[in-house]
Structure 1
Amino acid sequence: MVAADGAYSALATNCGMKWFRYNYQQIAVVSKITTEIPHFGRAFEKFTEHGPLAVLPMSNNFSFLIWCISNKQHKEVSIWNKKKFSQELQNTFGWKLGKILNIETRYFYDLWLTRAQSHISHRLALVGNAAQNLHPIAGQGFNLGLRDIVVLSKIITQALYRNIDIGDYSVLNTYQKHRYLDQYKTIKITDGLVRLFSNHYLPLIIARNVGLFFIKYSTFLQHLLVTTILNWKTD
């Protein structure tokens, strides 16, 4: 059985799985928005003093908004009407996509890092958010989940080819061992970015701004960053 039912997986919970959890003390405000200028498939992310703001392309010229705010801001932001929210979002995001024309229903989610203490149990494997749920700062939770599925599929195929029971512990343990390093590295990178950009220590602020400047204008550094984060090597 594969638990792929998202964060706080009911299936995994019923099978006795336990999670490590860390509260980032942040809230993600998510919504679907439309803008004056088409996104042309472009994604944007801006780092604010309270957390990252991402605008991701969707079909039909919609964009998906993920705006991370502090817990302290939650009460204030939640009572903003659509006009006030649109104005504040425009001021924070800027005019890269022109005027923000419409904001649909807003949803608020607490942001936690969660990771299953084990990703396998008796004839059970966890994938995606059922195995680990990341902060959206680098947008890597989905990619990590896809790599879980790719690796599990390969291992199941190999077991079938060798006429081995795919639910056998040896097969499931192979999956867990193959995924550990990638999961560990991606979680560390994502968690490190959250802590880096939520730290208000002045020398650190200067250092990260200099780093972002060099990444912005260096094709080599951009390629290195993307290769490191995406990590599509699943062998």
Structure 2
Amino acid sequence: MSIGSSPVVKDNISVALIEAGDLNKIQDWSMPTGSFSNRASSLTNASQDFLKRSGSWNHVDEQRTCGIEEMQVWDGVSDARITFTAEDLGAEAARNGMSRMTENLNLQRGLLRQLAQLPQVQLLQKTKVQSITRDSDDKQNWPLVYLDNGRVLRSRLLVGADGFNSPVRQFAGVSSYGWSYDTQAIVATLEHHARGAFEGPNTTAYQRFLPTGPIAFLPFSSTASSLVWSTRPHIAKALLACDPAVFSTMINAAFRLPAFSMRYLYDRILESQAAGQTITPAELQAEIMFREQAHGIEHLSTYSSLIRQAPPAGIGSPDSQSIPPLVTGLQPNTAASFPLRFNHAEVYIGEGKASRTVLVGDAAHTVHPLAGQGLNMGLSDVECLTRTVEQAVLHGGDIGSYTALLPYAQERYLANHVLMSAVDKLHKLYTTKLEPVVWARSVGLEVINELDSCEGGDHDVCWSPADHAGLTWLELCSQRRAEYICSG
């Protein structure tokens, strides 16, 4: 769609978009106020700017989105913490937030509404690709796409935006490397009390790295947030089999209790289910109450995981915003899970018999969701490919040639590889319980957190927020760490 809507391209190239699914369901999608879909993404300001330039953001229901103004990330073993605010990322982020939580269906509906305004783009929905071959009668070797409705499309450039099991990648003979993580992601939409009058709005994203995987709490509204909890497959299965009240309490505990107490609760749930039973909310509350007493956590403390029927009245404690509000329940039918993997194509553009093909998004790369960058990487791919095609058209080039597509591959492969490697290493770093590693990562995180901005004066390390506009929290964290090291 981005290519088809380009002022440079739309009068020179015809575009066909093939979709196997029924897009009418997305076009007609709606949810009651206060209810949210369980699949959502955190869009960076750069991604939002791209969507605005393409016209798609005009069709997104912004009332169903939420700007993130602060992030708190901490180690579940040592409690070392790092905090980022929107002001850390420059003037634009201070105005618009660090990123914006958006339901995937809200964004997809907006894209389809924009697509309906582009007559030059032909949408073929509920249509499957049966096979892709090479046009042997043509010296240019254009790909031939055979559809299940009997049509055959002859393409000067075949873009594979067709997911992890990409038929375009298979046709192009592009191999990929990667692995499955021993991790399952749980997603759900959470219900909770609104923040107190003296606590500020619910615009902070929280992420705690547990030895079994990170758990993230991402705001939607004053009383609803999104959960992304990466954990071991057997734990994920057990949690989803629990009573929703038990699951809600476990989410609260995962942000509050020490890691070894969480291990005990996992074992308690697993043992109960192995015996053909399910732990009740009252039994779990009793277990947590005992462990909180052992840890010296008071019942009405911010760090108590026990669900209260009403929010605490009056002024909250000074640390009330260091962890998410207590989850009181799950929105119906929103809890789900899926496996996580790392995968990266060896190349993004085909050569030889695989020429005139290019990969974007999940067809090119799949990454752990702990940094929330999967969709942003895909949107950056599309933006870069659009610019590449525009340049080919402006210079009278062949948009499907290897030479024309090379700038896209050169820009996006390295950028994606660096970010994917950082996410993968971060995942592995925080899933170990070895004491030297825990100590090193905790000291590093605390040092990074101390590298705040400075205005004049003599400083060993001076960090300027304006120099870091548009960076993700992971990139910003890495850059601040590099600045500390280089300062000697």
Aligned mate of 1:192, from 416, 425, 430: 425
Paired residues, number: 230
Take 2:346 and 2:184, find their aligned partners in 1: how far apart are those partners? 24
Conserved 8 A contact 2:217-2:324: no
- 2:162 corresponds to 1:5: yes
Query: How do 1:94-113 residues align onto structure 2 when only pairs under 5 Å count?
Result: 94=256, 96-104=323-331, 105-113=334-342
Question: Bigger CA drift: 40-49 or 201-210?
Answer: 40-49
What is the CA–CA distance in structure 1 between the aligned matches of 2:345 and 2:410, rounded to whole Å? Answer: 14
Cα distance, 1:60 vs structure 2: 7.3
SS of alignment partner, residue 166 of structure 1: coil
Q: Which residue of 1 aligns with 2:250?
A: 88
Mapped to 1, the partners of 2:168 and 2:346 lie a distance apart of 15
Q: Is the 8 Å Cα contact of residues 17 and 118 (structure 1) preserved in structure 2?
A: yes
Q: Distance in 2 between matches of 1:92 and 1:178?
A: 39
Conserved 8 A contact 2:160-2:166: yes
Secondary structure at 1:6's aligned position in 2?
coil
- Between 1:73-82 and 1:221-230, the stretch displaced more is 221-230
Q: Which moved more, 1:221-230 or 1:151-160?
A: 221-230
User: Hey, what does 2:214 align to over in structure 1?
Assistant: 52
**Equivalent residue for 1:229?**
475
Structure 2 counterpart of 1:117, one-letter code: E
Instruction: Give the Cα–Cα distance (whole angstroms) in 2 for the partners of residues 55 and 5 of structure 1.
Output: 29
Higher alpha-carbon deviation: 33-42 or 162-171 = 33-42
Cα 1:34–1:15 shift into 2, 3 Å: farther
- Look up the match of 1:78: 240
Which whole-Å CA distance do the structure 2 matches of 1:228 and 1:86 have between them? Answer: 28
Measured after TM superposition, the shift of residue 85 of structure 1 is 0.4
Give the fraction of aligned pairs with identical amino acids, expressed as a percent: 30
Contact 1:140 1:229 in 2 (8 A): no
With over 3 angstroms needed to count, the CA separation of the structure-2 counterparts of 1:161 and 1:142, relative to structure 1, is same
Q: Is the 8 A contact 1:111 1:135 kept in 2?
A: yes
| 1:130-156 Cα shifts (integer Å, max 9, x gaps) | 210100122222222222122111111
Structure 2 CA distance for aligned equivalents of residues 47 and 66 of structure 1? 12
Question: Cα deviations across residues 191-220 of structure 1 (Å, max 9, x unaligned)?
Answer: 110110012211000111112222333325
Confirm or deny: 8 A CA contact 1:32 1:62 kept in the other structure: yes
Is 1:69 equivalent to 2:231 in the alignment?
Answer: yes
Moved more, 136-145 or 4-13: 4-13
- Report what 2:114 is aligned to: none
SS at match of 1:200: coil
The 3-state SS of whatever aligns with 2:440 is helix
Q: Confirm or deny: 8 A CA contact 1:199 1:205 kept in the other structure.
A: yes
CA distance in 1, matches of 2:160, 2:464: 35
Comparing 169-178 and 58-67, the one that deviates more: 58-67
1:24-74 per-residue CA deviation (whole Å, 9 max, x = no partner) reads: 101100112122135633221111111111122336753221101113423
Instruction: Assess if the C-alpha contact under 8 Å between 2:187 and 2:335 holds in 1.
Output: yes
**SS across alignment from 1:120:** coil
211-220 vs 194-203, which deviates more? 211-220
What per-residue deviation string (whole Å, max 9, x for no partner) do you get for residues 85-141 of structure 1? 001001112463322133132111111101112212232211122210100122222
Which residue in the other structure is 2:372 paired with? 139
User: 1:150-176 CA deviation, whole Å, 9 max, x = no partner?
Assistant: 211111111110011211121223311
Larger mean CA deviation between 36-45 and 198-207 belongs to 36-45
Change in Cα spacing, 1:183 to 1:15, as seen in structure 2 (3 Å) is: same
**TM-score normalised by L of structure 2:** 0.44
Task: Give, as a single letter, the amino acid of the residue that structure 2 aligns with 1:213.
Answer: E
Cα distance in 1 between the residues matched to 2:434 and 2:464: 26
> Alpha-carbon deviation of 1:15?
4.7
Q: Distance in 1 between matches of 2:368 and 2:413?
A: 18
Q: Secondary structure at the match of 1:43?
A: strand
The aligned counterpart of 1:154 is: 387
Cα 1:147/1:61, change in 2 over 3 Å? farther
| Residues 212-221 or 45-54, more deviating | 212-221
Runs of 5+ unmatched residues, structure 1: 231-235
Bigger radius of gyration among the two = 2
Q: Which residue of 2 aligns with 1:233?
A: none
Q: Which amino acid aligns with 1:98?
A: P
Aligned twin of 2:415: 182
**1 CA distance for matches of 2:375 and 2:424?**
15
8 Å Cα contact 1:6-1:128 kept in structure 2: yes
Amino acid at match of 1:42: T
More helix by share: 1
Give the C-alpha shift of residue 11 in structure 1.
4.1
Conserved? CA contact 2:218–2:227, under 8 Å: yes
The TM-score with structure 1 as length reference comes to 0.86
CA contact (8 A) 2:245 2:329 kept: no
Does the Cα contact within 8 Å between 1:37 and 1:97 map onto a contact in 2?
A: no
Cα RMSD (Å): 2.5
Letter in 2 for 1:41: T
- Contact (CA 8 Å) 2:348, 2:358: kept in 1 or not? yes
